[in-house]
Chain A
């Protein structure tokens, strides 16, 4: 049994048969997880400096040198690292006075902040399986992003109080801009919103919950949705990036909706985190600095001059930094063009088990062991459940944690 680190569901029931450098058989692994592990054998990185292959020690020494000489380094990524590696990473940022940010500043950060601060109620995915009767997927398509979400937790499994499951006892509602694969499964309760129309849709639901007729949208269907939400015994809302991008500074409205729903019945929120340990990083940062992401430690460890804000987030920090360490992430292909271009113009150090656009453009590439397969550790699932895993195969490659510790020692 191994744990798949392909997405934030951290499925623990995977059976892998490895044969001479390839996966010969994988049971229960979804297509996304299969790609996650299989790419390791075809797209493996090698230690490199300026496109030339070097030894691991040389690459680590060069990385330390770049970070040491940088005035304002940026440490970015972290969502695909274990809690242990993230702890070392935060200490490294404190030591060198760097900007530190993870993928949540471009993704679920706005919502995650409210959840970790206790402003929005949340529950575990096991509670969802055992008790939930209504799942609302808002701005997300789990069939593609988290393939086993519906089958393991939110719709199809039989739980303690939900023995009849999807056939009779569970309802699945999808709110999205397009008819996604998930929306096809619950087509009766698919609500289409125009791009950027989430706030208006949300206001309409609030109006319906107050017993009034909404001014905009399909009134009949909105009243139908209001009835479903009111009749729910234990509901869960899964907001995805689609909803968060659309809401931005109107997130208070969502908080209001959840509070209003909780006056009527029980409603919880679980953010659809993409990377396997984004929540872990956010929780660690909250414990150490009071902010979940986008922090600058400029002023050194003793100074403790931590600042937080959009200027410390990757979008702006990329433009004011003079070197960046990217770990387990591919910002050059994932982030907006302006940010990616700013990053591409400064010396990059990429720590990644697999090749990506970022490792291709990086000055220093340090290959790491893949968590779950070659390295063990602990991670937080999307609902905050702590999951520990052990490596299933031996590898001469160092884990993220070991690499970061060696860089820190060399500085």
Chain B
């Protein structure tokens, strides 16, 4: 997964403040958090000398476009369908204390993660602890994944 430093290296690094942020590093963090867009950096778009960097930046940012509102990315081709994340997710456990909490698959549709057709599927992302501005950086689902099929941006 791409980091803020990697994005920063592809920016003009002039701290021109045209994007509204004090430094290029702050803009890189903004890009990673999907609060800013690449188009909001005028020098990168307008000046010819940054053309190669811009192309590279689009390539680096491409995988992030598939991420959901909470930054969750699921790679179904890597998933074993083991359900570790389903059982570990604190929201799932609170929603179905008699099923998810004791290792069974969920019955209702209030849960975030569920296993369907052999792979994990995410719903109700508004309930996720990582949703919204006051997010908590919970990593119960990524830490319990044996195949790195779940990632956060």
Q: Which A residues contact B (CB, under 8 angstroms)?
A: 13-15, 23, 25-35, 129, 143-144, 147-148, 150-153, 155-159, 166, 181-182, 184-185
Contacts and interface: CB of A to CB of B under 8 A. Distances in A.
Interface string B85-97: 0111000010000
A173 to B, nearest CB: 16
Contacts, number: 97
Contacts of A153: 103
A30 B93 contact: no
Interface of B: 79-84, 86-88, 93, 99, 101-106, 114-119, 144, 146-147
B88 to A, nearest CB: 5
A151 B86 contact: yes
Given A148-B82, A156-B103, 10 more contacts: A28-B114, A143-B80, A151-B88, A157-B87, A157-B102, A157-B103, A158-B93, A158-B102, A166-B88, A185-B84
A34 B117 contact: yes
A34 B86 CA distance: 17
A181 B80 CA distance: 10
Contacts of A157: 87, 101-103
B105 A27 contact: yes
12 contacts: A26-B118, A28-B106, A28-B114, A28-B115, A29-B81, A31-B118, A34-B117, A151-B83, A152-B103, A158-B93, A166-B88, A181-B80
A185 B102 contact: no
**A-B residue pairs, 8 tightest by C-beta:** A28-B105, A34-B118, A157-B103, A30-B81, A181-B146, A152-B103, A143-B146, A147-B82
Given A143-B82, A156-B87, A181-B80, A13 B104 contact: yes
Nearest to A149: B82
A30 B80 contact: yes
